[in-house]
Amino acid sequence: MPSNDLSVVKTTGVKWAYNGPDGEHNWSSSFPFCGGAFQSPIDFQTELLRYDPNLPPIQVQNYNLSTNEQLTLSNNGHSVQLSLPSHMYISSLPHRYSAAQLHFHWGSSDLLTGSEHTVNGKRFAGEMHIVHFNSEKYPNISMAVDKYDGLAVLGVFIEIGDFNPAFDRFFKFMNGIKYRDQKIQVPAFNIRTLLPARLDEYYRYDGSLTTPPCYPSVLWTVFRRPVTISRKQFLALATALYASHAQETATVPLHGNYRKPQLADNRVVLVSFKDGLHGILSAASPFQRKQVIQKLLVGDLADLADEGLHQLLPKLSSQPVQDKKWKKNKKGHWSQATQKEQWSKNKVPHNTGYSFSARKNVATPWYMGAFDTDKGMCFISLEENVVHQLERYHAKGLMVEALKEVVFPELNLRSYLHCRSDLDLQTIRKLIQGRSRDEAAELEQSLAEAMLKKMRRQINQHRNPNMKTTIGHPPATVPKDFSSALTYRRPQRVEWED
């Protein structure tokens, strides 16, 4: 029987933790997607939000389980997990997503904040994830986990407040799973009682698993309203469990099991609510976005430059562009300063879309079927193809960057067409590959001029802190050297520093 525990998916035999030498700063050395694109969790900053009036209330089916049914409560060394039957499902998404399991992330007795997602920097006491898989297309969660449309997760913020009898249905059995790999059977109950009363207010975006292997395969729905548990209930979760096995002499407490916020990667976050959010923008329609893609694929690029395609430019980062010279560290990861040199030296194909795949002698452009967002995309296959290609050039240290090159434009295009992302310049360039060089050059010049204007505007706002941006938020911090904007590189975080 396939396991519902995502921590064993392609992680068997590979140790990972949240802190220490196997902590999240080093996940990408064994799990390259953890350093890649469209990662989760993220901070729901107001400037990322887009109101979508077409988002329906979340509808869950068969959540009220019979008490005659038994569920498996387990400690997998990373979290508390409760198995769920697949006849539970979400009915308000494009596909039927059947339940697999739920688990928790939390802080510690000293730090009562441990949610993974945050709201304008605010971290809640904990967060519950109810994991579902696309049962219309895949037979089980193990087959779905690495597909771009494989998973849908309901996220619930937890804060400390009133005692919650629903959570005590299984919290009271916590002593039976004190150590890693311990499991017990518990009576089923109404899982709906674990969710907020209102299921019509939520954040929606495209993201990833928040634990290795970090596949960007998750459609996230995070409810706006938190649920409460008592301080005693929280401490039972934060102090009673161990990440180590019972036979180990040195016990390792299980707490602080949350991943830090990841880069937005030009994603937007759709929200189903407007109240309390001033100046929030509305999402463009999928039809409008398809028109933009169609123009990029077959339209007159010179006309597009005149029509103001620069409005598609991503928002400037709120963080200054990091310009540190990375070096190869002890763990063998390539630094920013050496990556270009290695690409050139090893003659690894660069900016080649799907050229890493086994599709030889096929003239079909990478974006064929761009409007068919149900087209398959398997991250395990992509990773294997990239590994094979890089090994040929003795350049496996470039794994993370190579996967970004392959995966980002495809994910960005899919997410853009579903209104959950802004169109990135890297993706625009992929779309216009093979077009007339003169037209493409004119479009590039238009984009460069628009970027320069944006940077100048940001600099003026930076010099005059009383100015506000168009949506009523403080201006972003602007790097001193804004000429680098003409290279169109998305700001990158220094990922390999200890």
How far apart are alpha carbons 289 and 293 in whole angstroms? 6
**Gap between the terminal Cα atoms of the chain:** 39
* Helix 286-298 vs helix 399-417: crossing angle, to nearest 10: 120
Those residues with Cβ within 8 angstroms of residue 493's Cβ, 6 or more apart along the chain or in another chain? 263, 322
Catalytic residue, chosen from 78, 95, 333, 418, is: 78
Those residues with Cβ within 8 angstroms of residue 388's Cβ, 6 or more apart along the chain or in another chain? none
Secondary element (H or E) of residue 130: strand 126-134
How far apart are alpha carbons 16 and 24 in whole angstroms? 8
Count of CA atoms in the C-beta half-sphere (13 A) of 36: 34
How far apart are alpha carbons 231 and 28 in whole angstroms? 35
Is there a catalytic annotation at residue 132? no
CA 145 vs CA 121, 133, 185, 420: distances in Å: 29, 8, 25, 20
How far apart are alpha carbons 422 and 313 in whole angstroms? 8
**Residues annotated catalytic, as ranges:** 78
